[in-house]
A and B are shown apart, each in its own frame.
Chain A
Amino acid sequence: MEEKTIISFANVAAAYDTATEVLTDVSFNISSGAFYFLSGASGAGKTTLLRLIYQLHKPLRGQIKLFGKNTAELSRDDVANLRHKMAIVFQEYSLLSHMTVFDNVALPLRVRGIPESKVKKLVAKVLDWVGLGKYANVKPMELSGGQQQRVSVARAIIVQPSILLADEPTGNLDDENASRLMELFIQMNKLFGTTIILATHNKKLMETYKFPVIRVENHRVGFVGKSSTATDDTKKVWKGPTPKNYFTELSKQFDEIGNA
């Protein structure tokens, strides 16, 4: 199967003020269905790189292409529609404190105009899977850090994105839950060809799952592992046609993972 570039950076630089560039001359291509770890010291620019990909931050110069589209030419609504194919999990959860866990997880589906009957079914399944089924009606602030992180992950994966960006998603989880989350990400990558970039400090995680690593160092980005395409291990194994009903397929996967 021909590899298709889904994320392309060409000489991209980023800065939060004009004084210092956080990232300089970043160029790479990431193929559809790839799984990468993103590593680097604190403050190296990992989050900035994720924000650039997710279009939360505009580059100082250079060109970013997502799904083959030059992001500089996109309108705000185009960017919003592009984000319908992506999801991001932040370290600080980014949950709405006045809304219940259920409503937080349901929000991306509601934004996409998914019928409420489907929303209820899917949210219940996802919450069960992340082990928060009984917390559906509580507010995020009543949950522990790890539980809030799981809500954040549930909100990201529920839309079955083509690109999933995760900033330290396992940072607040214990080993069991971290492994469970990694298994879910791997399943999404293998079955749906979801391109995943996972920022982490966790060396054990990187050693256990030998995915290629994007290393951010000295404001520059380098690759460790097999170039910028997916390794044999991480190539998606979905050979059939792309599932038409992602949500049904995703639910099936949740069932399988949940029963495993």
Chain B
Amino acid sequence: MKHTTVFSLVREQSVFMTAIMGLLTFLAVMALGIAIAIGTGVARWNTQWDLFATVQVTNTKNESDVNKILTTNAAKIESINEISNDEMLRLMRPWVSGGGVLKNYLPKMWEVRFKTESDLNEISDKIAPYGRVLTHADALQTPISAGWKMMLIAGLILALTLGAITVCISYIARNTAMLHKRELEILNQIGATDSFVARQMQIIVARICVVACLVGFICAVPVLLIMISSAHSARVGLMAMLSIGGIGWVCLGLLPIVITIFAIWMTRRTTIKILQNE
């Protein structure tokens, strides 16, 4: 059966709707892309530091006891790195003024990578009476928390964009119905059901959305790639961990399809509501 479109949008209407839907799709893909990239980064970051801990001993009397515990449990330790005073001084230079007095108050520190999480917990308990064991995951709570917050913000932007799409589609359907009141009347006269009229509107919106979503997606992908590449140039820290994996790209690819389907469904819902309130 041929689905002749009874409604025809004027050129300006089509251009405006394609542009606005393209922009919204661009924003939605960007927001989801950023959320996925940060999410992947945070997950990688967490995994990376899960088995790391810094052992600090401030009381010099306990140094040998801690050293003994570390030596006897060598089988449970992947690597151990003793941080020298010079190295510590170099790391702390930005926060402390010069002078050799500080050297006397520096704790003894080891950076330890454990084989398993249970090894980390077990040895931490053993060291606890003599010194302090600070896991890197705990120490890096602030950037991780910032990462989650950024993801939340990106998610919020995505939700807002989808909300804007809802409003936009609703507006398109209402606007089209108002502009084509005469056509609606004629369709009504010849016995068109609400579903038939809604299908007509859906055809228009589907055509606009397919083009707009494709353009929005094609524009968003290079921008996302540039952003991730710029983040990687930081080399260290959470920024360097930002990435979009295979599943992430599949999700991003599905987003314009979901937007199109959502827009088509929204059009039907709005159109039928308009017709019933006529």
Interface residues of A (CB under 8 A from B): 54, 56, 76-77, 80-84, 86-88, 90, 94-96, 98-99, 103, 106-108, 110-116, 119, 155
Contacts and interface: CB of A to CB of B under 8 A. Distances in A.
B178 interface: no
Contacts of A80: 188, 191-194, 196
A54 B190 CA distance: 10
- Which residue, of B3, B190, B192, has the highest number of chain A Cβ atoms within 10 A? B190
Contacts of B224: none
Nearest to A95: B186
B276 interface: yes
Interface string B185-201: 11111111111100000
A54 B186 CA distance: 13
B4 A56 contact: no
Contacts of B186: 94-96
5 contacts: A80-B192, A94-B185, A103-B4, A111-B192, A116-B2
- Which residue, of B4, B183, B276, has the highest number of chain A Cβ atoms within 10 A? B4
B234 interface: no
* Interface size, B (range): 20 to 34
Contacts of B190: 83, 87, 107-108, 111, 155
B275 A107 contact: no
Contacts of B101: none
Contacts of A114: 1
B194 A76 contact: yes
Given A76-B275, A80-B194, A96-B183, A106 B189 contact: no
B4 A108 contact: no
B1 A115 contact: yes
Contacts of B1: 110, 113-116
A83 B4 contact: no
Contacts of A115: 1
A111 B196 contact: yes
B194 A83 contact: no
A100 B146 CA distance: 61
Given A77-B195, A111-B193, 12 more contacts: A76-B193, A81-B191, A87-B190, A90-B189, A99-B6, A106-B4, A107-B4, A107-B187, A108-B190, A110-B3, A116-B1, A155-B190
B118 interface: no
B8 interface: yes
Nearest to A83: B191
Nearest to B2: A116
A108 to B, nearest CB: 4
